Amino acid sequence: MKRADLVNLVKLIYADHHVSRMSLAEKTGLAPSYITTIVRDLQERGLLLEGGRAPSDGGRRRVLLSLNPELAHLVGVELGTANIRLVVTDFLGRVLAVKRFRSEIGQGKNHVLESIHSGIRSFLDRDPAIKGIGMSQSGVIDRGSGTVLFWPKVQGWTNVPLKSMFESRYGLPAVVEDSVRTMAMAERRFGRARGYSNFVYVNVGMGIGSAIYVNGQLCFGRNGLAGELGHTTIDENGDLCSCGNRGCLEVYASGWAIINRMRSGLQQGVTSTLAELWERHPEQLSVEAIVEAAKSRDRLSALVLSEAGTHLGTALAGIVNLLNPEKIILGGAVPQAAKGLLLRPLMAALNARAFQRSATGLEVEISRLGDEAGAVGASVLVAEKLLEDMV
């Protein structure tokens, strides 16, 4: 048995959840007798389980194989600007425990790190089956060393060696990845990208990021910086962005941009049902409040959301022409809240601007995964890493 064949086979079974020996032979081109030998070896080592049968295609119903979900439990952590979310999952990504607390990023680096450590520690104290830690956050990450080079949201969050920090403190393997990518990984494993090889996951929250899958592979780019959709230019002479450039998509279509545009309309005295809220509690002006107002036919709110959708559709038309994907999945707080109010103008702009042949049949959908998707994706990532060492 070649180790490369073993690793390849186990990864296929992990990706497909339940798979028959025959379909493994079809997918790998390896001889069925050789597959049977490998599978027997993996079963004897406790890595594989038999469970269920595929629907009959006329012949004998095929026995399905899956990885043993109890191979290990894993911790997934997502550090966001508002919340820290932690999950424990089994080896296949099924969530066993959840923890969430406010990030309190204003309190600085050490406070945030201590919150993360106390969450991880409380899981480890209760579950001795935990064998790895996956961490996700945004910012500039050196994936090889698992170091966050720069994250401007927290004072002092520069060159933070999270991977080596976790590994030395807990004696467990760790991985660190960009949170939009871990969400896309969760989407591919459990969500709307299941079974898709060419898709783009776009996250629209306070910022805008994306993760790109081409031929089943996630694109990282030379420095791991691929996918910065929010900082592609849609107006060369447009407003200044936090990145120092002008006219970035993020300035026109992010949650921050939506609130900002609403605020400037209200400041100019445009009639809106949100005028009173703006006057009394300006800090409560949120994307959710704007969506609710738009649903109640507030024209300014509807216009602001529609403009954001149009800008997103314009940017996505560029992606569609560039990559010709099968599917685009929209995740994050803005599409989750705005749904059709964002999607309709987005589709109109996309269909007007993308090549018709690329746009026809393209599926654009809003994610249905829950708020823990980023943390679950991080635990899936660490499971994949452990799998290579186990085989």
CB of 136 to Zn ion, least distance (A): 22
Q: Would you say 213 or 252 has its CB closer to Zn ion?
A: 252
Q: Is 206 in the site for Zn ion (CB under 5 A)?
A: no
In whole angstroms, what is the distance from residue 387 CA to residue 376 CA? 16
The single residue among 31, 243, 322, 352 that binds Zn ion, judged by CB under 5 A, is: 243
Q: Would you say 17 or 231 has its CB closer to Zn ion?
A: 231
Query: Where do the H-state alpha helices sit in the chain?
Result: 3-16, 21-28, 32-44, 109-126, 162-170, 179-190, 250-253, 255-267, 275-280, 287-295, 299-323, 333-338, 340-353, 356-359, 373-390
The single residue among 231, 246, 295, 385 that binds Zn ion, judged by CB under 5 A, is: 231
Q: Would you say 190 or 252 has its CB closer to Zn ion?
A: 252
What's the first-to-final CA gap in the chain, in angstroms? 12
Quick one: the chain helix, strand, coil %, rounded to 5? Answer: 45, 20, 30
Q: Confirm if 17 and 92 have CB atoms less than 8 A apart.
A: yes
CB of 229 to Zn ion, least distance (A): 10
Q: Would you say 210 or 367 has its CB closer to Zn ion?
A: 210
CB of 29 to Zn ion, least distance (A): 45
CB of 161 to Zn ion, least distance (A): 27
Q: Is 9 in the site for Zn ion (CB under 5 A)?
A: no
The single residue among 68, 245, 351, 358 that binds Zn ion, judged by CB under 5 A, is: 245
In whole angstroms, what is the distance from residue 381 CA to residue 182 CA? 8
CB of 11 to Zn ion, least distance (A): 36
Q: Would you say 228 or 384 has its CB closer to Zn ion?
A: 228
In whole angstroms, what is the distance from residue 176 CA to residue 362 CA? 32
Window contacting Zn ion (CB under 5 A); options: 77-85, 224-232, 304-312, 374-382: 224-232
Q: Would you say 228 or 292 has its CB closer to Zn ion?
A: 228
CB of 240 to Zn ion, least distance (A): 9
CB of 254 to Zn ion, least distance (A): 10
Q: Would you say 43 or 245 has its CB closer to Zn ion?
A: 245
Buried b / exposed e along 250-271 (16+ C-beta atoms within 10 A): bbbbbbbbbbbbbeebbeeeee
The single residue among 79, 112, 120, 248 that binds Zn ion, judged by CB under 5 A, is: 248
In whole angstroms, what is the distance from residue 9 CA to residue 23 CA? 11
Which residue type sits at 177?
E
Window contacting Zn ion (CB under 5 A); options: 30-38, 46-54, 204-212, 243-251: 243-251
Q: Would you say 196 or 256 has its CB closer to Zn ion?
A: 256
Contacts of 340 (CB under 8 A, 6+ apart): none
Q: Confirm if 276 and 266 have CB atoms less than 8 A apart.
A: no
Which residue type sits at 274?
L
Window contacting Zn ion (CB under 5 A); options: 1-9, 218-226, 241-249, 379-387: 241-249
Phi and psi for 157 in degrees, rounded to 5?
Answer: -80, 65
Q: Would you say 224 or 238 has its CB closer to Zn ion?
A: 238
Q: Is 246 in the site for Zn ion (CB under 5 A)?
A: no
- As beta bridge partners, residue 95 has 89
Q: Confirm if 254 and 307 have CB atoms less than 8 A apart.
A: no
CB of 247 to Zn ion, least distance (A): 8
Q: Is 385 in the site for Zn ion (CB under 5 A)?
A: no
Report which of 363, 251, 347 is spatially closest to residue 306, judged by C-alpha positions: 347
The single residue among 19, 212, 241, 334 that binds Zn ion, judged by CB under 5 A, is: 241
CB of 311 to Zn ion, least distance (A): 13
Q: Is 383 in the site for Zn ion (CB under 5 A)?
A: no
In whole angstroms, what is the distance from residue 217 CA to residue 199 CA? 10
- The contact set with Zn ion (CB under 5 A) reads 231, 241, 243, 245, 248
